[in-house]
Amino acid sequence: MLDNTKVKISNILSSLLPDFIEADNPKFKEFLEQYYIFEERQYGTTNIADDLAEYKDISRLSEIETVRVQTIPATGTNVPPQVVVLTTDVLSFDGTLNVSHTKGFPDTYGLLKIDDEIITYTGKTATSFTGCKRGFSGISAIATEGDPEYLTFSETESAEHSALSVVLNLGFVFIGQFYSKFKSQFLPGVEQRSFAPGLSVENILSRAKDFYTSKGTDSSIDLLFKVLFGKDVVIKKPFDSTISVSDSQWQISDEIVVEALSGNPMNLKLFTLFQGTQTGFSTNPSASAAISNVEEVFSSNKTYHKLFLSRDTVENTFKVNNKTRVLKKGDSLSVVTVDSTVGFGNTGYFWYPNSLGTYQQVKYTSKSYNQFFGCVGIASTSLAENTPIIGNDFVFGYENNDLT
């Protein structure tokens, strides 16, 4: 929450700006004031930085959990009480929005989303938002679909909305990450799950140690279902009905997930997997192992393959290939600016996908912390922003004497 005792930059800009700047650019001061007013609002970036310790307090998470359930779609009139919805129809030019309640929303300059439209406001009552600025632009999600490393910035237009449309609180886009962080830290595996309504988030997370101490017992399984679904369960173990215990041995294997650049990895079952650079595929592999099984894995609209390696056959350690991304489109084909060159050699090769999706090899002669120099092998146009760059360490296998 905001600390009203702190001096706000938006209130002291007049004393910070030289007189000649304000005289030559009278709108500049107004622009900066509006910028800092928006940043210093509750859940704004400046407010989060100033009150970081408070936002990391588990006791604040019950408020965040209440807002998270707003993503539940309203069906008919059976609207959960935590969900904020419009109580009247809204036209595209209306400056006041009547809603079921405004709990959890910032008092001023919050961001809310209705259907595809983002809206900010200058004030609120218990059941309405006032001074609404329609068709606003802002960050609507912490990740981009298919590219989770980047935020989703949405530009919207004013539109009409019907009563019972769900009103989402975008002020919790960043704060919600603290909630997910705590859940992944104290209860790994359930960070993407919502707890049953009415439970105390603080009690559950602060006593996670007790849960893991009893992990595997009937009481822990019963507790897990109560936390996630609010249901009592009966634990039935197949062992209790087993006449005799099986004497079979478990197969132990290591697993790696790969993206196919050529060939079909499904045909590599029972063959050998190698790793090496493009120039040392067949002559000097750095690691190898027998593949016991292959499975398809689907993630972010792409198909990957999980390879199961028989642990007794693994020689040396398989290395994860380096990966980075083009930071901006360059003016020269010989220089590529990337997010980071950490892990890449001082000289060597990298690969990028061309317009057909086929990876092309590029040689470079030197590098800085975020640039490759002396690049040879780039097509006639420089690499576009966000183009993926990968290193020169690959895994490969031979199926019917063909390279995959």
User: Using one digit for the tens of pLDDT, what is the confidence trace for 57-115?
Assistant: 666 555 555 444 444 444 444 444 557 889 999 999 999 999 988 887 888 888 889 99
Q: Taking the domains of the chain in order of start, what are their residue ranges?
A: 9-54, 60-176, 180-229, 253-318, 323-397
Percent of the chain exceeding pLDDT 90 equals: 17
Which one-letter amino acid corresponds to residue 223? Answer: L
> Averaged over 304-320, what is the pLDDT?
88
Using alpha carbons, select from 296, 311, 324 the residue that is nearest to residue 385.
324
At residue 298, the pLDDT reads 86
- Cα–Cα distances in Å, from 352 out to 208, 258, 363? 44, 16, 11
* Distance, CA of 278 to CA of 256 (rounded, Å): 19
At residue 247, the pLDDT reads 61
Percent of the chain exceeding pLDDT 70 equals: 75
Q: Which residue has the higher pLDDT, 216 or 279?
A: 216
Predicted confidence (pLDDT) at residue 171 exceeds the cutoff of 80: no
Decide: residue 80, CB within 10 A, 0-12 exposed, 13-18 middle, 19+ buried. exposed
Is the pTM value of this prediction over 0.85? no
* Distance, CA of 360 to CA of 362 (rounded, Å): 7
At residue 364, the pLDDT reads 94
Mode of pairing for the β-strands spanning 111-114 and 167-169: antiparallel
Can you say how many angstroms the Cα of residue 48 is from the centroid of all Cα atoms in its chain? 19
- Average pLDDT of the chain to the nearest whole number: 78
